Amino acid sequence: MGHVIPFIEFAKRLVHHHDDFNVTCIIPTIGPPSTAMKAAVEALPAPTINHIFLPPIIFDDDDQYSTKSPETILALAITRSLPSLACELKSLVASSRTNVVAFVVDFFCTETFEVAREFNLSSYLFFPSNAMVLSFLLYLPKLDEMVSCEFKDLTEPVKIPGCLPVHGRDFADTFQDRTSGTYKWFVDMIKKFSLARGIIVNSFMDLESGALKALSEEEPGKPPVYPIGPIIRSGSSESDDVSWSDCLTWLDNQPSDSVLFVAFGSGGTLSHAQVNELAFGLEMSQQRFIWVVKTPNDESASATYFSVQNHQKNHFDFLPEGFLERTKERGLVISSWGPQIEVLSHGATGGFLTHCGWNSTLESVVYGVPLIAWPLYAEQRMNALMLSEDVRVALRPNPNEGDGLVTREEIAKVVKELMEGEAGIGVRKRMRVMKHAASMALMEDGSSIKTLSKLALEWKKNQTASYGKTN
């Protein structure tokens, strides 16, 4: 969902500013599409934007599905979906009603370039994360040749073009075992980026000027980069969950900028011990809060990566005894999934404790909400570094060196500092500057809208038919 949402929002922005385009979204699936997935695509403005779910990839016992990383599962799903994709592209290209001018794929899907080439389609990558991570990935094959040890064992931080130096230990978990098949697949996938005609990235110049300037420098094998962000959802998916309306009603009764929103995205999970510490930390901070709670998982920080339907029906037995009763006057706990856009855009919300997923980060930037950075998996540690040390719109708690646990005392201290301390005032001011910059980038003469127009013009040049709409 973290990739699908910005992709379809990009499609909506394209057709809004360039109404001579139609878009067809082709989505590989692992089993039946989730309720959230179906709701997201069914809300698209057909027929201008329509969608196709490819036949689901069914993993049998021989695949050892439960033991594979999310990246490996995605790779298998893409590979096994190639024949179905070819059938759909053949149908689109053969249609008398469409003129296919570009094939835009998620960056996990570079294998599909070969299929696109069969139909003489121009391929582009859509990169839903930020320019810093993109710069790192493009640099990774070179780094892989230069370094012999594990990245986490490097004594000096790695100098990524245009970005803050990053310690190897802060690379995503995918890159922490260079002998693994997942790592090798990732490097091979990144090498295929050079086959794209261009890379569309969900960021904007004022947020990441250093990385974007570095990416704009011409190099052999490096496609041009198109920053067209921030792309965020216009609103949360519809829900009949009573807790959602209760949540917004509760917010209406709170003072301006007084509530900390705590949520770890569609995939993030905490251990039982960490949930316990977070609960006590919020209580000790004496600050107002809304906490979107998921069932703890001691095995993985991304235990719900492939599912956003982890509803525990408001059973919070895993929370500390008496916590809900003691905090009911200034805190609200809701189950699994919340109306994030509506909460972040609400005047009572004054802070966001986040896993630093890029969708959540951009939503906080658009609405000017300062952050507490709490990364869990994927590229989130790099995002947290950029947000806290480069853009400086986030505070970051310090985990224990031994077990990595963030203690209740540390949580209480950072929460209180963000909401009413001097450091909090500083990050709040800087976030307001970023909010204004994001708004300016999306004006008719803003940098991102100009870049989108440049991209659209390039695609129109690919149009050879003189009838119908482009697709």
Q: What is the pLDDT, as a whole number, of residue 75? A: 82
The stretches of 265-407 forming alpha helices (DSSP H) are: 272-285, 323-326, 340-344, 358-367, 380-385
| Torsional class of 308: left (φ above 0), alpha (ψ -120 to 50), beta (otherwise) | alpha
Structure tokens, 300: 């993985």
Q: What is the pLDDT, as a whole number, of residue 65? A: 60
Q: What is the pLDDT, as a whole number, of residue 242? A: 56
CA-wise closest residue to 396 among 379, 411, 376: 411
Q: What is the pLDDT, as a whole number, of residue 338? A: 83
Q: Cα(27)–Cα(108) distance, rounded to whole angstroms?
A: 12
Stated pTM of the model: 0.93
CA-wise closest residue to 395 among 417, 379, 364: 417
What domains sit in the chain, N to C, each tagged with a CATH number?
A: 4-229+445-470 (3.40.50.2000), 242-435 (3.40.50.2000)
Q: What is the pLDDT, as a whole number, of residue 278? A: 98
| Burial state string for 192-203 with b = 16 or more CB within 10 A and e = fewer than 16 | bbeebbbbbbbb
Q: What is the pLDDT, as a whole number, of residue 457? A: 96
Q: Which residues in the chain land under pLDDT 50?
A: 240, 307-313, 465-470
Tell me, yes or no, if 106 is annotated catalytic. yes
Q: What is the pLDDT, as a whole number, of residue 304? A: 55
Catalytic one of 17, 18, 106, 188: 106
